[in-house]
A and B are shown apart, each in its own frame.
Chain A
Amino acid sequence: EVQLVESGGGLVKPGGSLRLSCAASGFSFSNAWMSWVRQAPGKGLEWVGRIKTKTDGETTDHAAPVRGRFGISRDDSKNTLYLEMNSLKTEDTALYYCTTDRRYDILTGYYYYGMDIWGQGTTVTVSS
């Protein structure tokens, strides 16, 4: 079964840190660009950042509001994506989704474009 499972969310004080994880299964994780997308309570979707595959240099891009505070990394040996969050602010409170951004299926030889696989999300609450 194709699946993404986020974990690591919780309550943290302003200025604190948190690391989110996203475990992937059922697809070729090492051939997938991965993104984090968040959704504040009652608000719309906001892209947080993305990491490309090792083949594509494992380069990262981050949204302006989190640049310099958040870092995305991946461990292909563990099929896991990470989001390291530092200097957290109250406005970072949101449900954080892990999602594929673009992936290559080695069995079919097809590329899948767009965020086609999503996790269920993990909640981060920044409050004193």
Chain B
Amino acid sequence: QSVLTQPPSASGTPGQRVIISCSGSSSNIGNNYVYWYQQVPGTAPKLLIYRNNQRPSGVPDRFSGSKSGTSASLSVSGLRSEDEADYYCAAWDDSLSGRVFGGGTKLTVL
């Protein structure tokens, strides 16, 4: 059981917008920044969003992050076939004194 809860799967058709949720608690999301990572199977993860809603250079603005209370979400708009991947949220957990990941959400582009 992951400390951060994500839906195991999400899907959409090309051009659609998909939102992936990440639920935590006051010891992690509620009190710390949220990060999002994309992992295409067989490759290393890639940082998509840092500090709740900031995009690293090179990440398309189709990807956006938000946080409210103890939950966060990743929005992918204008869905493309290359967005098909696993997405993970992460945050520092003050109670565990460690970083925690969500269980991951497999995004399928239909």
Contacts and interface: CB of A to CB of B under 8 A. Distances in A.
Given A113-B50, A114-B51, A114-B56, A47 B101 contact: yes
A92 to B, nearest CB: 16
Interface residues of B, number: 26
Tell me the interface secondary structure of chain B in the complex. strand
Given A61-B98, A113-B50, A118-B46, A44 B35 contact: no
B98 A97 contact: no
A44 B2 contact: yes
A119 B44 contact: yes
Interface of B: 2, 33, 35, 37, 39, 44-47, 49-51, 54, 56, 86, 88, 90, 96-104
Given A44-B86, A114-B35, 12 more contacts: A44-B101, A45-B39, A45-B45, A47-B98, A61-B97, A97-B45, A112-B56, A113-B54, A115-B35, A116-B56, A119-B44, A121-B44
